[in-house]
Amino acid sequence: MINLAARDVLHGWGKFLFTGIGLGLLIGVTLTMAGVFRGMVDDGKVLIDNSGADLWVVQQGTLGPYAEPSSLRDDVWRGIAGIDGVAETGNAAYLTIQMAHHGKDTRVMIVGIEVDRPNRPGAPPYLTAGRPILQGHYEAIADERAGLKLGERVKIRRHDYTVVGLTRRMVSSSGDPMIFVPLKDAQEIQFLKDNDALVNERARTAANPAFNRPGVPGLLEAAQAAATQARNVNAVLVRVKPGADPAAVANEIQRWKRLTAYTRAQMEDILIAKLIATSAKQIGMFLVILAIVTAAIVAFIIYTMTLAKVREIAVLKLIGAKNRIIAGMILQQALALGVIGFIVGRIAAGLWGPAFPKYVLLLPQDAMTGFAIILTICALASSVAIRTALRIDPAEAIGG
Amino acid sequence: MDKVEIPAIRLTGLKKRYGSGETAVDALKGVDMTVWPGEVVGLVGPSGSGKSTLLKCLGAVIEPTAGRMELAGEVIYDDGWKIRDLRALRRDKIGFVFQAPYLIPFLDVTDNVALLPMLAGQDNASARKRALELLTALDVAHRADASVSQLSGGEQQRVAIARSLANHAPVILADEPTAPLDSARALTVVRILNDLAREYRTAIVVVTHDEKIIPTFKRIYHIRDGKTHEEAGEGRPI
């Protein structure tokens, strides 16, 4: 038996192909939206994976350090390091800032890490160029997406930093590239007030009678010295000993240190289920709307194509073609349109995905799911046209 | 004509009523008609006389209201359909030639003709072989691979006639087959129909208004107000 659907498509292949390309661009947008969502999830996962930590110890009762502000003194690690099962700790400070570079504003996450030895939790696990930070101040390692070059000097707040190393896929949960600097610099960037504010604060403290009590010499100096120090961090990242249960270690830390400790799974939940929940819902809504629009467009195209063939369908029915042959023809064309649309959409998403400012992750399983959904949509959308075709009276082929 | 043969078409008191109650219209009021194998019969009448209704009843496209209809000796209607699968009946026993050729534009010439045997379950090779035989008989075999849009009007009509014969149908119903053609081409089509009727022993009913071809029929059924009157035609040689 001749494949009527294929013959019809080949007869008007240009029109069919262009229709498929148009549909494909719409499908490309849909796949890209799914890719944006996957990119957000992946950003969260790489943030966790690349930190090299098993536990995140943060200020009690907060969802820090990524989802909520958290502040700890930078010496709490000593107590944590003494808890059974803890192999290594690392102070970390995180701050997202707008960095001016070559006349362009770039949003980056400044990460303060301890540089006394490499591979502390929190440090970038690998470099694509350059070397680790060796000096205690004014050196930086940047993610490649920050657009910085090795040896380049970049101004972050009050100081200039030399880029000594480059790394890859080190991004915040929002997808902003990370710039690693020595912890003390990051503390200064985050917690230390500017000079004007310090002068004002000193004057304010000096005028406070509570700090000028007779018989307590040096109290004012001590208070003012404390104001110029930045001794806080946002989190202590903990690596547990091999064989140790991270959840049990987290419980111990919470019990004895009055801090909150999150395991890897809990942090993943915070970053993926909580932090990007609203964005995920937003994208989900977008995907649903795009699916409905795609279905409506496919239905309209197939319906129009069917209406253009009323006479041919009437003749086919008159000469004895069974309903399933006519329905099969319409269904196959709808599916072919879906296949062309999917191929074009996948290629388009692959081409324009890297140009997006945020990471677009196109997963093969998402593509396969998308393909199945598109075919389902096409099949459902063709049902309107099939119903119309099956209602065509073969008598329409006979005049009068 | 050998009257011992079984008639290809026999209609007895065939009636068709559209609607019901006060608005009912009796389009056919008891049509009697007999057409023998190998015969080309004209069915003529003014607009609204019931020609198309009769053709649709004959083509098993609409259901008559009463009467009896036999095709090639088989009772297909006797105050109700006697055949369950009307599509198969149309496919296997009735060929259609329309006013316009109504070929399938996305199939080439051969496949337009071969489609019918394929729908009946024949394999592609034998269906195409049959199509080529008919295209050769109708003198359009040289356009076998052409697309429909490349054919002239006359060629398209010949392909449509070939399609109507593809399943060895004992009956062909031709609805104004010469309407869009000039005199010469119209007479050619009638000649072809006569030749095919003789060669394949097919009964052909030609519904027409065309004054050019009416004199060529040996037998004509006039239809007026839903009733037929048979009369001998001139049978003018073509």
The kind and range of the H/E element at B195 are helix B183-200
Q: Which of A193-197, A349-353, B122-126 comes out lowest in average pLDDT?
A: A193-197
CB contact under 8 A, B52 and A318: no
The residue with greater pLDDT, B109 or A271, is: B109
CB contact under 8 A, A400 and B114: no
Residue A118 has pLDDT above 80, yes or no: no
B217 touches chain A (CB under 8 A): no
CATH number at residue B219: 3.40.50.300
CA-nearest residue to B110 within chain A is A2
Cα–Cα dist A133/A130, whole Å: 9
CB contact under 8 A, A2 and B107: yes
B55 touches chain A (CB under 8 A): yes
Residue A24 lies in a domain: yes
Cα–Cα dist A233/A221, whole Å: 24
Q: Tell me: do A281 and A355 sit in the same domain.
A: yes
Residue B226 lies in a domain: yes
CB contact under 8 A, A320 and B105: no
Q: Tell me: do A68 and A179 sit in the same domain.
A: yes
Coil, strand or helix at B176 = coil
pLDDT of residue B52: 86
- % of chain A exceeding 90 in pLDDT: 55
A151 touches chain B (CB under 8 A): no
pLDDT of residue A295: 85
Residue B190 lies in a domain: yes
Q: Tell me: do A106 and A25 sit in the same domain.
A: no
Q: Tell me: do A106 and A79 sit in the same domain.
A: yes
pLDDT of residue A158: 82
Q: Chain A partners of B119 at a C-beta cutoff of 8 Å? A: 1, 319-322, 325
Residue B227 lies in a domain: yes
Residue B116 lies in a domain: yes
Residue B142 lies in a domain: yes
Cα–Cα dist B94/B116, whole Å: 11
Which span out of A324-328, B152-156, B167-171 was modeled with the highest average pLDDT?
A324-328
The residue with greater pLDDT, B60 or A227, is: B60
Cα–Cα dist B185/A258, whole Å: 103
8 A C-beta contact, residue A253 and residue A240: no
Q: Tell me: do A38 and A129 sit in the same domain.
A: no
Residue B54 structural domain: 37-61+86-232
pLDDT, tens digit (0-9, with 9 covering 90-100), for A151-177: 999 998 888 999 999 999 899 888 899
Q: Tell me: do A288 and A241 sit in the same domain.
A: no
Residue B197 lies in a domain: yes
Burial A53-63 (b: 16+ CB within 10 A, else e): bbbbbbbeebb
- Stretch B84-102: mean pLDDT, rounded? 88
According to DSSP, residue B147 is labeled B
Q: What backbone torsions phi and psi does residue A181 show, to the nearest 5 degrees? A: -135, 165
ipTM of the prediction greater than 0.85, yes or no: no
8 A C-beta contact, residue A143 and residue A178: yes
CA-nearest residue to B89 within chain A is A320
Residue B40: which of B191, B144, B228 has the closest Cα?
B191
- Stretch B48-64: mean pLDDT, rounded? 90
The reported pTM is 0.77
Q: Tell me: do A316 and A382 sit in the same domain.
A: yes
Residue A308 structural domain: 4-43+277-397
Distance from CA of A178 to the nearest CA of B (A): 60
Residue A400 has pLDDT above 60, yes or no: no
Closest CB to B56: pick one of A319, A321, A395.
A395
Count: domains in chain B: 1
Cα–Cα dist A97/A82, whole Å: 34
Residue A119 lies in a domain: yes
Residue B3 has pLDDT above 60, yes or no: no
Distance from CA of B112 to the nearest CA of A (A): 10
pLDDT band at residue A60 under the 50/70/90 scheme: very high
B125 touches chain A (CB under 8 A): no
Distance from CA of B104 to the nearest CA of A (A): 6
Closest CB to A398: pick one of B98, B111, B114.
B98
pLDDT of residue A399: 61
Pairing assessment for the beta strands A86-101 and A129-130 based on DSSP bridges:
unpaired
Residue B4 has pLDDT above 70, yes or no: no
Q: Give the CB-side neighbour count of residue B137, counting CA atoms within 13 A.
A: 23
Residue A203 lies in a domain: no
pLDDT of residue A22: 93
Residue A208 lies in a domain: no
Residue A352 lies in a domain: yes
Residue B50 has pLDDT above 80, yes or no: yes
pLDDT band at residue B231 under the 50/70/90 scheme: confident
User: Which tokens belong to B233?
Assistant: 């035609």
3-state secondary structure chain A: CCCHHHHHHHHCHHHHHHHHHHHHHHHHHHHHHHHHHHHHHHHHHHHHHHHCCCEEEECCCCCCCCCCCCCEECCHHHHHHCCCCEEEEEEEEEEEEEEEECCEEEEEEEEEECCCCCCCCCCCCCCCEECCCCCCCCEEEEEHHHCCCCCCEEEECCEEEEEEEEECCCECCCCCEEEEEEHHHHHHHHHCCCHHHHHHHHHHHHCCHHHCCCCCCCHHHHHHHHHCCCCEECEEEEEECCCCCHHHHHHHHHHHHCCEEEEHHHHHHHHHHHHCHHHHHHHHHHHHHHHHHHHHHHHHHHHHHHHCCHHHHHHHHHCCCCHHHHHHHHHHHHHHHHHHHHHHHHHHHHHHHHHCCCCCCCCHHHHHHHHHHHHHHHHHHHHHHHHHHHHCCHHHHCCC
Count: domains in chain A: 2
CB contact under 8 A, A399 and B105: no
Cα–Cα dist B31/B229, whole Å: 9
CA-nearest residue to A311 within chain B is B102
Residue A268: which of A51, A87, A8, A83 has the closest Cα?
A51
User: Which tokens belong to A317?
Assistant: 């029915």
The residue with greater pLDDT, A116 or B58, is: B58
Residue A299 has pLDDT above 90, yes or no: no
CA-nearest residue to B127 within chain A is A1
The dihedral of CA B229, B230, B232, B235: what is its sign?
positive
pLDDT of residue A398: 73
8 A C-beta contact, residue B135 and residue B113: yes
pLDDT, tens digit (0-9, with 9 covering 90-100), for A195-207: 888 788 888 888 8
pLDDT band at residue B238 under the 50/70/90 scheme: confident
CB contact under 8 A, B119 and A4: no
Q: What is the mean pLDDT of chain A?
A: 89
Coil, strand or helix at B80 = coil
Cα–Cα dist B219/B194, whole Å: 13
Residue A74 lies in a domain: yes
Residue B165 lies in a domain: yes
Cα–Cα dist B194/A85, whole Å: 103
pLDDT of residue A202: 83
pLDDT of residue A232: 87
- % of chain B exceeding 70 in pLDDT: 98
A343 touches chain B (CB under 8 A): no
8 A C-beta contact, residue B27 and residue B53: yes
Residue B103 lies in a domain: yes
CB contact under 8 A, B147 and A1: no
Burial-class residue B15 by CB neighbours within 10 Å (0-12, 13-18, 19+): middle
Q: Tell me: do A37 and A66 sit in the same domain.
A: no
Q: Tell me: do A114 and A247 sit in the same domain.
A: yes
Cα–Cα dist A19/A41, whole Å: 33
User: Which tokens belong to A200?
Assistant: 């004002």
